[in-house]
Structure 1
Amino acid sequence: MKYCCSFLLLLLFGISGGFAQDKVECWGRYEISLPAKVKGNPFDIELTATFSGPDTTLTVRGFYDGNDTFKIRFMPVNQGVWSYVTQSEIPVLNEVKGRIECIAPGKGNHGPVKVDGTYNFKYADGTRYYPVGTTSYDWMHVAGNQPDQTVKSLELSKFNKIRMLFFVQNFDPDYPEPSMFPFEIKKITKDEKGKPVYEWDFTRFNPAYFAHVEACVDKLARIGVEADLILFHPYDGGRWGFDRMPLEAGVRYLKYLTARMSSFRNIWWSLANEYDFLRELKPEYWDTFTHTVVENDPYSHLCSIHTYTAKYYKYWEPEYTHASIQDQAPVEGFGRAATVKNIYKKPIIFDEVCYEGNMDNRWGSLSGQEYLYRLWQGLIVGTYVTHGECYMDDPKDYSRDFLAVGGTFQGESWKRIGFTRQILDALPNPLHLCDSSWDPYTSTAGENYYMIYLGKEIKPEWAFDLPVKNAFYPRLKEGVRFKVEVIDTWNMTIAEWPVVFETTAPVKDRVYDKNQGRVRLPASPYLLLRITEVE
């Protein structure tokens, strides 16, 4: 195909979209804008750029952004000077060269989240990351100021991750049509009920839709929230047909999306929500879609896929960085979640364990206390549990349903998230059961640092009693002195017991206090004991 091109101007942008600049912070975003008028479908144009910097070379894909403009986005991963050169069959887009300086990251910029070791996460700068997330499927696509209110609610609540849909959701037949779609519309007809029927041009995208999603992801980054972006979902029902795209259309969409958004440091890829309900897509498509995302993301962002309840996926495949599981059973009792962790040997996030709410069904009617209980049943063994709430006054009134449209939280468990994160952030290391096959209650965060979750049990006292085995840390010895703090995870209080305990010599596989000491407990459920060494 012959293209006629004209070079008009070269603009370089950072994350805020400013004017030409030579510096960008580490894990920030650098954008090259290349105006060029071409014949044919501009979305067919191949454009890449190779960035060479300190000890690293990365090749990133460019994309057409509408208005006769092509763009390349780059996230520098090391401080220092980077040079770049573009590659394209279009002469005016080819061999464009430049240099940038990557400077120290700004306040609050810890870089993208990565897997740390086998079971945990950390930011690129080494800061520990404990995912305590929530869910709001359609919050980005709601009209008015609702999206801004959602961001405010997230900031207030202290959640640090949100699961959300890229494609709009079909709540019910009367739900209003969205103002934008991700693809160009070929034509619109009407069905027998007068509802619109769309015919899409899957070879041409609507950059404005993508730009809106990107703006929302940037808002999340500013408040320290990771964007777990769900790339496909079954909640379309054929209304728009995004749940039944041809394979080649899906691959094309994923390549375009990753070209645009891989440079966003807070992005996570979730291939689908309840992928097994996307029955128009063949099972083998998911391998193709996953490989497409992973191969076109030069920064290797976190990647997983979500299934229907208790339908466990092949998360051991190397493309999946962690398991994204829908199943409440592992967090309804002590030690169960550890079994899932031990099977997959990867970080485990129970992304759906039913929701707090008032819905007349079994998945949206948890109390706030029950959700918090399930959260801690996951956390205490070193797995992670995602929140969601769905309060509705009417089956078709979604205005208060945060799970659906965001806005303002209505429940009670969200108020405990900041307190929960304070406990996690104080840990010297991530939690792991001390002796998982024998003691499902006691976890360790390092040498002589223990936590015991009592759950719903209410008892008058706790006798000092710890396992000798301490996971992969040194075994507990005689003569270690400990303090015990009683943490009420629901009422958000911490009380230190005014007695110091000292360990006995091991008695079989346990140690006790030399004075047979005990801690008197309040008559409340959801207590957590923090047991740490003192001088």
Structure 2
Amino acid sequence: MRTFDRWSTFGEALENEEARRLLEAEVPDLLGSSLAEQLRGFPLGGFLEFALAADADKARSLLQQLSTIEDTRPLPVEPPAIQPDADYESVAVAHASASVTLPDKPRLHETTEIVLAGPSHGNPFVDVELGAILTHGDLTLRVGGFYDDDGSYVLRFLLPIDGEWSFVTTSNARSLDGITGSISVADSDGRGPVRVVDQFAFAYADGSPYTPFGTTAYVWTLQPEALQDETIRTLKDSPFNKLRMGLFPKDFLYNSNDPDRYVFPRREDGGWDTTRFDVDYFRRLERRIKQLGELGIEADLILFHPYDRWGFAALGKAADDRYVKYVTRRLSGFANVWWSLANEYELLVSKRPDDWDRIARVIQAEDPSHHLMSIHNWTELFDYSADWATHASIQRNEGKMSQRVDEWRHRWGKPVVVDEFGYEGNLDQGWGNLTAEEVVEKFWDGTVRGGYLTHGETFHAEDEVLWWSKGGKLAGESPARVAFLRTIVSESPTGRVEPLPSDWDARWGGVKNEYILIYFGANRPLFRNVSIPEGMRARIDVIDTWNMNIQTVPGVHEGTVHVDLPARPYMAIRLTKADQ
């Protein structure tokens, strides 16, 4: 018997006679509220916890009672997966006869392509399966190919070491199967994909440190070209080195326009042909990902989200898997890609936890470079102990959000990226009207605790061009101060900040006995007696994180030192190990 669970929608429960009677008896005032109408499509568990936040026990009890009620709605019919056509090419076609274009001067950690000119009859997007095995000594990479229209098939990848690589193709299409060759990969100054290192930190594949300072522009690549160009110009002069962005359009506040291209082409009846892909859409997207890479910006790609009027949030398992497989094969050959399975995953009520696990496994199987991967929540934190989750990607906007970084690091033993804590702006929504001071304070506090934060900006605009959604220009006061913080972090001897034993009223972070930041947040002390760690001789700086200036205390110090402060909020003290 299928019963209601936390992933059923509130609206579905209302449409069930027995479930509605229970809700009417237990929460009559809630059913008559505007909230109940606005959030009919929200997951039942999240809705009850949100609406009954003051009575968590009642929310849990009500969900437990609902879980005993049969959900009599008919299950949607899931179309089966489409298997490659074993007889796609007849035996008259010569084996391994397709022509091959090898990459011109391939380089380490840079996008490399082998292009094959093959058959185009039927629907090659699903009829043809193509892969290749690349070897270099004892190292083997398995790469999946994708159809790029007009009889063109592409194997796109990153190679982790230089030297001579040999390859052999595999395919159900005779002309594409068994093609062999080799490519000579030269060294380069490319840094490669970002990896997790030392449990809580990040570094590029070449070992150079990477500390995320992110921003958000969900659908910037689905806007007119001129606006996309403006976004690139803005990013060039910004401090941000990671950008959260989606592949599907968004239907939400200040997101009312339709793009001119989509992931899938339309059928004649107006629906989506999920067995094919709009190649021009992907070529445009790839151009922008490449531009981000040239600016040193990681593209944190959101594969699914719930704010949808087009049907992309509920394609079904087979279509989801085709989409994820194609996207992964096509985009994993870019060094600056991260995978975000979803934005606010629990609002995607067509999917359950096992669906996210299945989708993650598809990515793992199809991404030979093993780019970073996570998933993002609304109110219910995901269990980031999942082996495929390389880091936590969290939304939290309560006042003490940054203090929870300590808890989350301990819980999962992985890097914690707070990808959404609210945005600097002036909207009528609480998440969209933070002051710049609040944003900067959260960045500093979260950073010295060993977390990584993501910026966004939501200033009202009549043309609905808000940075957080469509890109364009930045207007807020926080980006310059994030740039200042990024410089402070980069001056650490490791290029990163780790949490250190702290005072009860001020956070310490940095590199033990070498580089220490003491952050006072909104407090405003007139002075501080600082105990320099034993064995450390230090230079002392007083940092005004808001006004972005640094005052050096003369001399080299050890022991306990009285440091004068200006009795203003948002101050920090820096201790830097003095040269011996």
Whether contact under 8 Å (1:433, 1:442) holds in the other structure is: yes
Name the residue aligned to 2:275.
203
- Hey, what's the Cα distance between the residues in 2 that align with 1:143 and 1:481? 56
> 446, 464, 480: which is aligned to 2:530?
464
Give the distance between the partners of 1:415 and 1:331, measured in 2 at CA: 23
1:527 pairs with 2:571: yes
Map Cα deviations across residues 38-77 of structure 1 (whole Å, 9 max, x no partner): 4322012110011112542101000111111111112111
| Residue 41, structure 1, aligned to residue 123, structure 2 | yes
Give yes or no for the alignment of 1:160 onto 2:216. Answer: no
State the partner residue of 1:303: 373
| 1:313 counterpart residue number | 382
Match of 1:354 among 422, 436, 442: 422
Give secondary structure in 2 for the equivalent of 1:26.
coil
8 Å contact kept, 1:482–1:501: yes
Inter-partner Cα distance in structure 2 for 1:172 and 1:221: 29
| 1:331 CA displacement | 5.0
Say yes or no: does 1:281 pair with 2:351: yes
Shift of 1:175: 2.8
How far apart are the structure 1 equivalents of 2:229 and 2:512? 40
1:206 is displaced (CA, Å) by: 1.3
Aligned to 1:187: 268
Counterpart Cα distance in 2 of 1:443 and 1:176 = 44
- Report the 3-state secondary structure (helix = DSSP H, G, I; strand = E; otherwise coil) of the residue aligned with 2:438: helix
Cα deviation 1:323-378 (Å, max 9, x = unaligned) = 00001337556x43212111110000000010000101110001111100001111
Measure, in 1, the Cα distance between the counterparts of 2:249 and 2:514. Answer: 49
Per-residue deviation, residues 119-140 of structure 1 (Å, max 9, x unmatched): 0100011111000010000100
Kindly provide the amino acid, as one letter, of the partner of residue 246 in structure 1.
G
TM superposition score normalised by structure 2: 0.80
The answer as to 2:468 corresponding to 1:383 is: no
Query: 2-side partners of 1:60 and 1:256: how far apart?
Result: 12
Query: Secondary structure of 2:156's partner?
Result: strand
Q: How far apart are the structure 1 equivalents of 2:186 and 2:137?
A: 12
Partner of residue 484, structure 1: 540
| Contact 2:418-2:453 within 8 A present in 1 as well | yes
Q: Does 1:62 align with 2:145?
A: yes
* C-alpha deviation, 1:11, in angstroms: 2.1
Distance of 1:501 and 1:54 partners within structure 2? 54
> How much does 1:201 deviate?
1.6
Assess if the C-alpha contact under 8 Å between 2:344 and 2:377 holds in 1. Answer: yes
In the alignment, does 2:261 pair up with 1:261?
no
Secondary structure of the residue that 2:149 maps to in structure 1? coil
What is the distance in 1 between the residues matched to 2:413 and 2:110? Answer: 31
Conservation of the 8 A alpha-carbon contact between 2:517 and 2:575: yes
Q: Which amino acid aligns with 1:358?
A: N
Q: Structure 1 residues 174, 351: CA separation in 2 closer, same or farther (over 3 Å shift)?
A: closer
Match runs of 1:82-161 below 5 Å: 82-106=165-189, 109-161=190-242
Kindly provide the amino acid, as one letter, of the partner of residue 415 in structure 1. A
Partner of 1:231: 303
Q: What code does the residue aligned with 2:487 have?
A: Q
Code of the residue aligned with 2:291 in structure 1: it is K
Instruction: Give distance in 2, aligned partners of 1:449 and 1:330.
Output: 28
Structure 2 SS opposite 1:243: helix
Preserved CA contact (<8 Å) 2:305 2:348: yes
CA distance in 2, matches of 1:138, 1:426: 34
Q: Distance in 2 between matches of 1:112 and 1:211?
A: 21
The separation in 2 between residues aligned to 1:418 and 1:522, in whole angstroms, is 23
Q: Shift in Å at residue 432 of structure 1?
A: 2.5
Separation (CA, whole Å) in 1 of partners of 2:515 and 2:278: 53
Contact 1:338 1:436 (8 Å CA) reproduced? no
Of the three residues 301, 310, 326, the one matched with 1:240 is 310
Confirm or deny that 1:326 pairs with 2:407: no
Q: TM-score, normalised by structure 1?
A: 0.87
Query: Alignment RMSD, CA only?
Result: 2.0
Contact kept? 1:486, 1:530, Cα under 8 Å = yes
CA displacement at 1:150 relative to structure 2:
0.8
Query: In structure 2, what residue type is equivalent to 1:416?
Result: R
Instruction: Report the counterpart of residue 511 of structure 2 in structure 1.
Output: 445
SS of 1:258's equivalent? helix
Match of 1:75 in 2: 158
SS of aligned partner of 2:304: coil
Alignment of 1:10 with 2:74, yes or no, is: no
Does the 8 Å contact 2:440/2:482 carry over to 1?
no
C-alpha separation between the residues in 1 aligned to 2:243 and 2:548? 23
Aligned to 2:71: none
Q: Verify the 8 A CA contact 2:249 2:258 in the aligned structure 1.
A: no
Partner of 2:439: 371
Q: Counterpart of 1:341?
A: 409
Q: Secondary structure at the match of 2:369?
A: coil
- Where does residue 176 of structure 1 map in the other structure? 257
Counterpart residue identity of residue 258, structure 1? T
Tell me the distance in 1 between the aligned counterparts of 2:239 and 2:537.
34
Query: Separation in 2 of the partners of 1:212 and 1:133?
Result: 22
- The question of whether the paired residues in 2 share the 8 Å contact of 1:136 and 1:406 is answered with yes
Query: If each structure's helix is expressed as a fraction of its own residues, which one has the higher value?
Result: 2
Aligned-partner Cα distance in 2 for 1:439–1:339: 17
Indicate if the aligned counterparts of 1:185 and 1:200 stay in contact, CA closer than 8 A: yes
Amino acid at match of 2:125: F
**Alignment CA distance shift 1:86-1:306 (3 Å):** same
Which structure shows the bigger proportion of residues in strand conformation?
A: 1
The sequence identity of aligned pairs, in percent, is: 38
Quick one: which of 476, 481, 486 aligns to 1:411? 476
Structure 2 residue 291 is matched with structure 1 residue 219: yes
Aligned partners of 2:242 and 2:483: how far apart in 1? 13
* Secondary structure at the counterpart of residue 476 of structure 2: coil
Deviation at 1:10, TM superposition (A): 2.5
8 A contact 1:157–1:417 mirrored in 2: no
Take 1:152 and 1:27, find their aligned partners in 2: how far apart are those partners?
Answer: 25
Instruction: Give the corresponding residue for 1:472.
Output: none
**Aligned letter for 2:313?**
D
CA displacement at 1:208 relative to structure 2: 1.3
Cα offset, 1:524, TM superposition: 2.7
Count of paired positions: 487
Structure 2: runs of 5+ lacking an equivalent: 1-84
Whole-angstrom CA distance in 1 between matches of 2:497 and 2:241? 18
The alignment status of 1:435 with 2:518, answered yes or no, reads no
Which position in structure 1 is the counterpart of 2:61? none
Please give the secondary structure, in 2, of the residue aligned with 1:184. coil
